[in-house]
């Protein structure tokens, strides 16, 4: 343990309060009182407990700190400035355009691993990081600071549950229990016992303390890792602590002080404030660096033409295959691994697989945590269930997380299970994520090759896989670059260009055969890369078919393949006729449903014949 100077830490806490007030007053916005309740905890963590190289925030064995209550960003920035990473003057640029000290933390800053501010997400990310530490045999701890209002989020309890299940004694949650939320008191106010009982029930070691008593904070922090449970510190605090006219007052959330108020507040804090300069921050242990090497290549794919394999099964095969040479690959699932086939990876690499149970929001956060530690996480479940983790996916976009998602059981082609199990909105949802890549293979070879591309492409990549078996149509050495498409049929004089992906590609091929027998030619394109779309390939093909394009997809009509094609090509004068699921889906046989919703070969034949 560090030889702790409690008075110095108390002084640093006030210094952090002053810096937070000054920054938010200069910005004219922000959350000073949310910073102030956490100041003693922050001072104790950053200058009396955590081990890290303050000059190198990315160092692989630094303790990690996640500010889950991201609106307290100014105090996080102040802590790193006081730790010597950058001059404290910079703090006065808080929230200004062009400055990376944004309103809520983002990984534009070197000391921020993941974006926070959408409350309830930090603990799940912390679970992922704590699991990554175990996998990499590193001894850093992961600390997550949460608000008491924030822990009303269900995702917090998904994370708390998994941390308890996996006995993550390298994970520490600190709840800044300041009694107040944004618009009123929290549901339980200062009834600390409620929180204590809840975390206890989830398998955590609970310490309830006075969150303004540095000695107590340091003492309970020193108990980190003493048993096999994650540790939660419920810190009873006061919002606006340290300033008489702010402390414990409702109505001050998210309000900066004006200049006069700031001067008054600082006059109260300054006498006991002390800069952190000269505080010796303990160095992390020197342990071997984790192996996160990009592989030189992957083992070959081997299917036989005529094999019938569902793309979801090819996804599982691919994960198990690329995992052999790509040590960065880890996987997680939400109790659907025998349906998504991620169990193929689990069986081969059990230590690199995390069962997240039926908690998809947390599964995505866990994956984001792994990604922040240099891993390439593949999280899989039914496509439809990613919708409930959409906020986590959205924020992962802001984090520019290297996150891989595989959604199976898409569209009405899943058949009998019915509409609650059908992913019919996933293309729209995933396309809208900033910086995302959206892929939709039709056969096993393309699925396998796209999984390789996902592992090698930075950022959020989504793979849409299907339930039914489909024939293998590509050769094992075919390449599937992101942003590409395959022209499978094309002849001079073709009447229309049919753009399809996944199961509807086979409907398009069937339609092409039928039409051919009637003397009508159509170009057929496999648009396996939905975002980015191979717009040049499609446009050039369309120009040869009088600018007539038919899109056909097993997805609701809004935001899917048809909209992607129309959006890219309308300015080129291309007319896009969309075949998609346009009304509420229902149970039935896959073929019946494709026919009923007008996305089968017969529907394609009909529309092509009807076109000018």
Within 13 Å, how many C-alpha atoms sit on residue 337's CB side? Answer: 22
8 Å CB contact between 581 and 554: yes
Nearest residue to 178 via CA among 30, 13, 45, 36:
36
Residue 147 or 459 having the CB closest to Mg ion = 147
The CA distance from 124 to 153, in Å, is 12
Stretch in the footprint of Mg ion (CB under 5 A) among 129-137, 171-179, 268-276, 544-552: 171-179
Shortest approach of Mg ion to residue 337 CB, angstroms?
38
Residue 180 or 320 having the CB closest to ligand TPP = 180
Shortest approach of Mg ion to residue 89 CB, angstroms?
30
Q: How many CB atoms lie within 10 A of CB 482?
A: 18
Tell me which residues in 247-276 interact with Mg ion (CB under 5 A). Answer: none
Residue 146 or 512 having the CB closest to Mg ion = 146
What x/- string results for residues 138 through 157 when contact with Mg ion is judged by CB under 5 A? Answer: ---------xxx--------
Shortest approach of ligand TPP to residue 209 CB, angstroms?
16
Stretch in the footprint of Mg ion (CB under 5 A) among 12-20, 176-184, 483-491, 550-558: 176-184
Among 113, 158, 176, 553, binds ligand TPP (CB under 6 A): 176
8 Å CB contact between 77 and 32: no
User: What six digits make up the tokens of 256?
Assistant: 């900066």
10 Å CB burial of residue 167 (0-12, 13-18, 19+) is: middle
The dihedral built from the CA positions of residue 601, 606, 609 and 611, taken in this order, carries a sign that is negative
The CA distance from 258 to 44, in Å, is 29
8 Å CB contact between 233 and 258: no
Q: Does the protein bind ligand TPP through residue 436 (CB under 6 A)?
A: no
Among 17, 71, 205, 464, binds ligand TPP (CB under 6 A): 71
Active-site residue numbers? 360
Shortest approach of Mg ion to residue 269 CB, angstroms?
20
Shortest approach of ligand TPP to residue 253 CB, angstroms?
6
Shortest approach of ligand TPP to residue 9 CB, angstroms?
20
Among 180, 234, 414, 503, binds ligand TPP (CB under 6 A): 180
8 Å CB contact between 415 and 503: no
Beta strands at 376-382 and 486-489: parallel, antiparallel or unpaired = unpaired
Among 64, 69, 449, 555, binds ligand TPP (CB under 6 A): 69
What x/- string results for residues 107 through 146 when contact with ligand TPP is judged by CB under 6 A? Answer: ----------xxxx--------------------------
Among 68, 141, 178, 523, binds Mg ion (CB under 5 A): 178
Q: Does the protein bind ligand TPP through residue 181 (CB under 6 A)?
A: yes
8 Å CB contact between 250 and 47: no
Among 57, 126, 149, 316, binds ligand TPP (CB under 6 A): 149
H-run or E-run covering 486: strand 486-489
Q: How many CB atoms lie within 10 A of CB 358?
A: 12
Residue 148 or 426 having the CB closest to ligand TPP = 148
Among 25, 142, 186, 392, binds ligand TPP (CB under 6 A): 186
Q: Give the bridge partners for 551, in sequence order.
A: 499, 578
Q: Which does 431 bind (CB under 5 to 8 A by kind): Mg ion, ligand TPP, none?
A: none
Q: Which does 182 bind (CB under 5 to 8 A by kind): ligand TPP, Mg ion, none?
A: ligand TPP
Query: Which 3-state string (H, E, C) describes 26-80?
Result: HHCCCCHHHHHHCHHHHHHHHHHCCCCCCCCCCCCCCCEEEECCHHHHHHHHHHH
Tell me which residues in 9-38 interact with ligand TPP (CB under 6 A). Answer: 34, 37
8 Å CB contact between 86 and 97: no
Stretch in the footprint of ligand TPP (CB under 6 A) among 17-25, 161-169, 175-183, 404-412: 175-183
User: What six digits make up the tokens of 179?
Assistant: 């009694």
What x/- string results for residues 15 through 54 when contact with Mg ion is judged by CB under 5 A? Answer: ----------------------------------------
10 Å CB burial of residue 255 (0-12, 13-18, 19+) is: middle
Q: Does the protein bind ligand TPP through residue 452 (CB under 6 A)?
A: no
Q: How many CB atoms lie within 10 A of CB 604?
A: 29
H-run or E-run covering 488: strand 486-489
Q: Which does 34 bind (CB under 5 to 8 A by kind): ligand TPP, Mg ion, none?
A: ligand TPP
Residue 65 or 528 having the CB closest to ligand TPP = 65
The CA distance from 289 to 522, in Å, is 55
Helices (H) and strands (E) in the chain, counts: 21, 19
What string of DSSP letters covers 364-426? Answer: HHHHHHHHHTT-EEEEEEEGGGGGGGHHHHHHHHHTT---EEEEESBSGGG-TT-GGG-B-SH
Measured in degrees and rounded to the nearest 5, phi and psi for residue 539 equal: -65, -45
Among 63, 82, 148, 600, binds ligand TPP (CB under 6 A): 148
Shortest approach of Mg ion to residue 302 CB, angstroms?
57
Tell me which residues in 221-240 interact with ligand TPP (CB under 6 A). Answer: 239
Q: Which does 4 bind (CB under 5 to 8 A by kind): Mg ion, ligand TPP, none?
A: none
Residues that bind ligand TPP (CB under 6 A): 34, 37, 69, 71, 117-120, 147-150, 176, 178, 180-182, 186, 239, 253
């Amino acid at each position: 343990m560090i030889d702790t100077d409690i008075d110095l830490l108390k002084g640093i806490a006030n210094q952090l309060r002053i810096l937070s007030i000054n920054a938010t007053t200069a910005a004219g916005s922000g959350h000073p009182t949310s910073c102030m309740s956490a100041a003693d905890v922050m001072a104790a963590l950053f200058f009396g407990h955590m081990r890290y190289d303050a000059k190198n925030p990315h160092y692989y064995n630094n303790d990690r700190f996640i500010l889950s209550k991201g609106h307290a960003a100014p105090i996080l920035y102040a802590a790193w400035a006081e730790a010597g990473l950058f001059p404290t003057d910079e703090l006065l640029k808080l929230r200004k355009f062009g400055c990376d000290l944004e309103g809520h933390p983002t990984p534009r800053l070197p000391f921020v691993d993941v974006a926070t501010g959408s409350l309830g997400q930090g603990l799940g990310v912390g679970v992922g990081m704590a699991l990554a530490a175990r996998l990499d045999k590193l001894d850093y701890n992961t600390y997550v600071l949460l608000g008491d209002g924030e822990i009303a989020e269900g995702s917090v309890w998904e994370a708390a549950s998994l941390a308890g299940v996996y006995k993550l004694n390298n994970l520490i949650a600190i709840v800044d229990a300041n009694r107040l939320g944004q618009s009123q008191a929290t549901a339980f106010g200062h009834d600390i016992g409620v929180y204590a009982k809840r975390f206890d029930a989830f398998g955590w070691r609970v310490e309830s303390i006075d969150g303004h008593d540095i000695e107590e904070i340091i003492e309970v922090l020193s108990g980190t890792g003493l048993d096999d449970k994650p540790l939660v510190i419920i810190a009873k605090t006061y919002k606006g602590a340290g300033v008489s006219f702010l402390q414990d007052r409702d109505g001050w959330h998210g309000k900066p002080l004006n200049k006069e108020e700031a001067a008054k507040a600082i006059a109260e804090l300054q006498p006991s404030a002390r800069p952190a300069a000269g505080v010796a921050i303990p160095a992390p242990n020197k342990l071997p660096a984790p192996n996160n090497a990009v592989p030189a290549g992957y083992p070959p794919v081997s299917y036989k033409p005529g094999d019938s394999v569902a793309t979801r099964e090819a996804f599982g095969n691919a994960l198990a295959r690329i995992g052999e040479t790509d040590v960065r690959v880890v996987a997680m699932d939400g109790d659907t691994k025998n349906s998504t086939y991620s169990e193929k990876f689990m069986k081969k690499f059990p230590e690199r697989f995390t069962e997240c149970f039926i908690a998809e929001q947390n599964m995505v956060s866990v994956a984001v945590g792994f990604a922040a530690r240099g891993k390439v996480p593949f999280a899989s479940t039914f496509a439809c269930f990613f919708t409930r983790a959409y906020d986590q996916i959205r924020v992962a976009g802001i984090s520019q997380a290297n996150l891989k998602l595989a959604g199976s059981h898409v569209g009405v082609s899943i058949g009998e299970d019915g509409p609650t199990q059908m992913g019919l909105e996933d293309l729209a949802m995933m396309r809208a994520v900033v910086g995302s890549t959206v892929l939709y293979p039709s056969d096993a070879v393309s699925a396998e090759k796209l999984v390789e591309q996902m592992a090698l492409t930075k950022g959020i990549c989504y793979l849409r896989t299907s339930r039914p078996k489909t024939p293998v149509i590509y050769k094992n050495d075919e390449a599937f670059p992101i942003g590409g498409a395959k022209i499978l049929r094309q002849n001079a004089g073709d009447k229309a260009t049919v753009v399809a992906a996944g199961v509807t590609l086979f409907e398009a091929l069937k339609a092409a055969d039928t039409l051919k027998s009637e003397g009508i030619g159509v170009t057929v394109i496999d648009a396996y890369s939905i975002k980015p779309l191979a717009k040049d390939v499609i446009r050039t093909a369309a120009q040869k078919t009088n600018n007539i394009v038919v899109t056909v997809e097993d997805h609701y009509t809004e935001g899917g393949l048809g909209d992607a094609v129309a959006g890219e090509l309308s300015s080129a004068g291309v007319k896009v006729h969309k075949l998609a699921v346009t009304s509420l889906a229902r149970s039935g046989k896959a073929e019946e449903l494709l026919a009923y919703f007008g996305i089968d070969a017969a529907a394609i034949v009909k529309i092509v014949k009807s076109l000018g």
